[in-house]
Chain A
Amino acid sequence: MSPVVSEHDAHPLSLSKYITGFVSCVAITLVAYLLVTRSSLSHAAIVAVIACLAIAQFVIQMVFFLHVGEEQRPRWKLAVMFLMLGVVLILVFGSLWIMNNLNYRMTPVQMDQYLKSQDSL
């Protein structure tokens, strides 16, 4: 059970990658925070920018901390990750879409009309 030598690692971990990842994540977090607390931009613009910053930070942490994309072919880890992203997007945006649609169709006025039409039957 001797530990396997590390000098032949296909992708050895490197300090510089962790530092790059950490520093850029701290910077992105601070920029997003300052945008929300200090900036005078419109809400829509801030939302768009901090959403992009979150996605950028997601990619940075996946690459530098979770080592996505370092494996050799066949890249099953990457494949499972994209499957997850697909399911997540469908789940979140699908829910929002359906619930907004329901909200729109079930405003009180329309509910009253619907109930009245049901009563008359």
Chain B
Amino acid sequence: MGYGLLWPNPCYLPHTTIKESGRMSELATTLDLERIEVQATDKTVFGFWVYLMTDCVLFAGLFAVYAVLHGNTFGGPSGHELFKLPYVLIETMVLLTSSFTCGLAMLAAQRRDRTQVLLWLGVTFLLGLTFLGLELSEFRNMVLDGNSWRRSGFLSSYFTLVGTHGLHITFGLIWMAVTAVFTLKKGLTHGILKRLTLLSLFWHFLDVVWIFIFTIVYLFGGLSI
């Protein structure tokens, strides 16, 4: 079926292993086990993919609310007055780079290079934390200026949409830290590789959602439409 990122197509497995060892009876059981593991991983990755797609529908709902309410400022500031685009550009670049370094961690996992996996996961974690810090300080400044989610329909929908994304980032960071600790303790076992694959899918997915937050909320908002 081939949903896994780090796993070979099961039908390729027999040839090399038979050539290398030649102990047929023992081989058959190991191969069956590996095949079962690969198929189980395929199913897990596919199940996680279905979760990600339904999470998209959650975000679509919040985008729809924002699209409907973005003009309802109730005498308060509009996006054009509130958003600092250079600041948001830095946030975007930080998140995009963290998505890239997460990919580098997966490449290292494919080479079974534990040190590099931990190094790139660490870089990804720090970039993710930077992104979260930038976002929270942006929120803090808005709230201190009296422009919290209670100010207008526009700000309620803005904080809900961007805050939900930030919440996903927070859970992603916790998950990343836990996975890094397990990688350090257990090494790159089959189970760890599976978790890394799911984590990287989640992290890339969050960057995909951010493309639309950046474009629809910030860039369209910056144009004052």
Contact = CB atoms under 8 A, between A and B. Distances in A.
A88 B55 CA distance: 11
A116 interface: no
Interface stretch (B135-143, B166-174, B186-194): B186-194
B71 to A, nearest CB: 10
Of A4, A46, A91, the most chain B CB neighbours within 10 A belong to A4
A92 interface: yes
B49 A51 contact: no
B64 A96 contact: yes
A47 interface: yes
Q: Is the interface of A mostly helix, strand, loop or mixed?
A: helix
Given A8-B8, A61-B204, A71-B2, A91 B64 contact: yes
Interface residues of A, number: 55
B63 A92 contact: yes
B212 A54 contact: yes
Given A61-B204, A65-B103, A6 B60 contact: no
Given A5-B16, A65-B204, A96-B64, 6 more contacts: A12-B110, A36-B85, A77-B46, A92-B64, A95-B67, A96-B67
Interface of A: 1, 3-6, 8-15, 18, 21-22, 25-26, 29, 32-33, 36-37, 43, 46-47, 50-51, 53-54, 57-58, 61-62, 65-67, 70-72, 74, 76-77, 80-81, 83-84, 87-88, 91-92, 94-96, 99
Interface of B: 1-3, 5-9, 12-13, 16, 34, 37-38, 46, 49-50, 53-54, 56-57, 60-61, 63-65, 67-68, 85, 89, 92-93, 96-97, 99-100, 103-104, 106-107, 110-112, 188-191, 193, 201, 204-205, 207-208, 211-212, 214-216, 219-220, 222-223, 225
